[in-house]
Structure 1
């Protein structure tokens, strides 16, 4: 049988001539690039046939013979591969043996809401939209966390995936990454913190994420909220109000909005809101459980991205007049 493959390949190579070997000649493709999906358990013969069926102008018998004669036919890996017009039989085999899949990536940004995450996944190239028809609750059920709110439970990062992968697979990786990061942060929490569960830490971290302009301020912003929680003082943080307003928020936060009671309105309700309001990054997770050693209860934006912190209301009012009103 091996002699047969040698004979077939030898005859074709002899016909090719023109000073180069067939194995180093680029394939003719039906398009600028073609996708080849190698399923687990496929034989080398089936892989060769799949390559030809994908739009590569190659005799599958010849390609199978090349796979066999290389001695690497059993090392071909399952995956999603992209072939361009420079692909040769040699580079194709190298790609298949090394598992050099056609990868794409999607970036989930710190401070994004779950709605923004879904929009990013919807626009991601070559990602199967398996989650698009599902509600947030259904998605969490699919991911093995029924009853857990989707908001904030995915870690912001860049995730690579094979062409044709499910968006649910990306979400699961992001969820597992957040679980790991949150557990690590919780293990480092300040024992004096009023937070009693990792979920509370996640909620607070999401608020810190949305309130922070200058990264260096995160621990002190966290201290303000930790201090308020400890004495039963309302958090009074605008991002939670905006989140609670949902589509009703038009970009301009008014006094009436601060009085519009929702479960996330920390001006009308004491304590943390019922869910996170965004995806916090690692720095905000750590800041939430390791606040700065500060007695501050107030802060106001200074206009340069940083904040001014105060321990008393009088001091805070003076800071508001200086930085917000120019007085």
Structure 2
């Protein structure tokens, strides 16, 4: 199904918990900054995902909070697995990944994205309010070992992390991971000074690239290959390409369909209809009808 702007719905991002075992100072918590309602059960999440397939969803991204804190995560993955779904991936901070990688693979998870903004243990501990970077690196190694690949490393480009980029690139090249450089979205005014323009970084990467590919179904994003390392950029800030080609809807942990990451004023309640045994297709239609590009071309 297409929205009013001709954008097909192909991807569904599930935030399955607001809880996290780290306290990164920059976290936007998937656009839900406070704990609101009741956590969705595994069965409720599965019902909602199954219903989404009718509207063209073919890719599932699971996030949090930290999704590995949910002990029923393997059950959720196993039950949403469907022949119509081409890809089930998960975004994690990696702290618990070593422990659960094999179970997730066995349940049907295809791949993981791991957040890693620095390789400096002291800086990592400061950014995350106590995290152990060695646990993350062991989790990444285990995920690759069991086949949760292609593994992507999510690097958030900020004023305090950008100097780590060369080391992160070398690390990703060494382990065979894809590097995703993400522009920081400051959701709070006091964090605005951490934002940096990633366009100059992308231009520099482009100059050095051996190959460049355009990903038509990913907001026309470029993929650069440098000495065997694949590098992608995610630039949601004031980016008409990002918004104009967005194919994703979201589900909050408390059961609201979210037409846009950057808006919190047009949520569609789907949890209560599911709990009441309603046909929830009309709520997906409403969500899709509510979609409009946050950043529009002038």
Report which structure shows greater RCO (CA 8 Å, sep ≥6): 2
Does TM, normalized by the shorter one, top 0.5?
Answer: no
TM-score bucket (shorter structure)? under 0.3
Q: TM-score, normalised by structure 2?
A: 0.21
Larger Rg: 1
* Structure with greater strand share of residues: 2
